[in-house]
Amino acid sequence: MKEELKLLVALQEIDSIILRKRLELKKAPEEIKRYQGPLSESEKAYKREKEKYEAVEKKKKQKELEVKEVDDRIEKLKSRMSDIKTNKEYQARLKEIEVIERERSRLEDEILYMMEELDEVSAGLKEAERLIGDEKKRLQSLQKELDVKSGLIEKELAELKDQRETLVIEISAGLYTRYMDVFQKSSGLSVVEAKDERCLGCYMSIPPQIYVEIKTSDEIMQCPQCGRFLYRKEATEEAQDSGSRNTD
Ligand SMILES: [Zn+2]
């Protein structure tokens, strides 16, 4: 293989790794987002239960006030018993008190029912709180894990960039510009193998003449379809390739 083509192949290898690593870096926030979903669901559930609790509590306080009013009325009626002159009036007063007491007992039943409801809601609140705590912990440990991973990738990227710079110095400026042009246009794959008269970048067939020239010409050939730089593996490399494939 021509020396400059070898350099391009090596540059492509490094650039492909760089692209893969950058993609990995981008994945971290997406992973965090996946974990944030359940957390915000739990937080919503907590808010709903909390609102329910406060609404029931408000109603309960209202009922307690009503009980107090009823008690005051009973107290008043009882304290004025001595003013009563006739038996008929006395019986009527007793009847009146009885009706109010029934009202009181109905109110107390309602309050009891609300207290049970509050117990249930507060159990739901505790459960939601527990879930939120668990999910926050999970999120934190994932964040820590991802930070470490990202740190390693950043370090690898810095090393790759150094390697890349060393390599680029050896490539002529014109060829490097062409490489970068194709790189931008073909989503980061600028140099590909040609095999069985096909370009392994776009998978279109390569005219036999050009296919031969990839090996014989002094020029570096580009795919007539996609413009990618083409190389052909030496017979020995191909044998090694299929050999290693067979042992897999
Ligand atoms: Zn092609």
Cα separation, 195 vs 215, whole angstroms: 12
Q: What pLDDT is attached to residue 29? A: 86
Q: What pLDDT is attached to residue 239? A: 64
User: Tens digit of pLDDT for each residue in 154-179?
Assistant: 999 999 999 999 999 999 999 999 99
68 alpha carbon – ligand 1 mean position (Å): 89
Q: Apex CA 138: angle with CA 132 and CA 144, to 5°?
A: 135
Q: For residue 198, what is the enclosing H or E element?
A: strand 198-199
What are the phi and psi torsion angles at 229 (to 5°)?
A: -70, 140
225 alpha carbon – ligand 1 mean position (Å): 5
Q: Coil, helix or strand for 229?
A: strand
* Ion ligand 1, residue ranges at CB < 5 A: 199, 201-202, 223, 225-226
Reported as a pLDDT band with limits 50, 70 and 90, residue 248 is very low
198 alpha carbon – ligand 1 mean position (Å): 8
Q: Per-residue pLDDT for 149 more than 60? A: yes
User: Tens digit of pLDDT for each residue in 53-95?
Assistant: 999 999 999 999 999 999 999 999 989 888 888 999 999 999 9
192 alpha carbon – ligand 1 mean position (Å): 8
Q: What pLDDT is attached to residue 240? A: 66
User: Tens digit of pLDDT for each residue in 84-104?
Assistant: 889 999 999 999 999 999 999
Q: Per-residue pLDDT for 9 more than 50? A: yes
**2 burial level (CB within 10 Å; 0-12, 13-18, 19+):** middle
Between strands 191-195 and 229-231, the pairing is parallel
Q: Per-residue pLDDT for 247 more than 70? A: no
The pTM for the full model equals: 0.70
Q: Mean pLDDT, the chain, as a whole number? A: 92
Q: What pLDDT is attached to residue 234? A: 78
Q: What pLDDT is attached to residue 244? A: 55
Judge contact between 24 and 113, C-beta under 8 A: no
